Amino acid sequence: MKRNLKKIAFLVILFISSNLYAQKDTIELEEIYIHSSRMPILYSESSRILSIISREEIKLVPAQTVQDILQYIAGVDVRQRGAEGVQADLSIRGGSFEQALVLLNGVKINDPQTGHHNLNIPIDIESIERIEILEGAAARVYGQNAFSGAINIITNPTNSSNLKINGFGGSYGLYKIGIAANLASAGLNQHLSFSSKSSDGYIENTDFQDKNLFYHSQIDSKYGFFNLQLGYLEKFFGANSFYTPRFPNQYEEVNSSFGSLKYSKNSKNWKFASTYFWRRHKDYFLLKRDDPSFYENNHLTDVFGSEYSVRHISKFGTSALNLEYRKEKLLSSSMGEKLDEAIAVKNRDANYLKHYERDVFSLSLEHAYTLKKFHTAGGFILNWNNDFGFSAYPGIDFNYELSEYFKVIASINTSFRTPSFTELLYNDGNSIGNKLLKPEEALSFEVGAKWNKGIFKTQASIFRTLGKEIIDWTKPVNDLTQAWFAQNISSLQTSGIEAEFSLFPSRSNPKAFVRTLRFAYTYLWQEASIDENFDSRYVLDFLKHKATFSLQHKIYKKLSASWQILAQDREGGFVQFTDSKFVEYEIYALVNGRISWENKFATLYFDANNLLNTTYYDFGNIPMPSRWFKIGAKISILNDK
Q: Which pLDDT score is estimated for 641?
A: 56
| Mean pLDDT (whole number) for 281-292 | 95
> Span 210-228, mean pLDDT?
95
Q: Which residue has the higher pLDDT, 10 or 527?
A: 527
pTM: 0.91
pLDDT tens digits, one per residue of 111-161: 999 999 999 999 999 999 999 998 988 888 888 889 999 999 999 888 889
Please give the domain boundaries of the chain with CATH numbers for all domains: 2-639 (2.40.170.20)
Q: What are phi and psi of 301, to 5 degrees?
A: -115, 140
606 DSSP β-pair partners: 595, 631
**Phi, psi for residue 56 in degrees, rounded to 5:** -65, -40
> Coil, helix or strand for 140?
helix
Burial of 120 (0-12, 13-18, 19+ CB in 10 A): buried
Assign 12 to helix, strand or coil.
helix
pLDDT bin (cut points 50, 70, 90) of residue 2 is: very low
Q: How far apart are CA 309 and CA 38, in angstroms?
A: 8
Question: In this predicted structure, what is the pLDDT of residue 573?
Answer: 87
Please compute the mean of the pLDDT values over residues 585-593 and round it to a whole number. 96
pLDDT score at 640: 67
More confident residue, 29 or 78: 78
**pLDDT given for residue 39 in this prediction:** 54
Question: Tell me: the pLDDT tens digits for 154-177?
Answer: 998 888 899 999 999 999 999 999
User: Each residue of 456-474: pLDDT tens digit?
Assistant: 999 999 999 999 999 998 8
SS3 547: strand
Rg (CA), the chain: 24
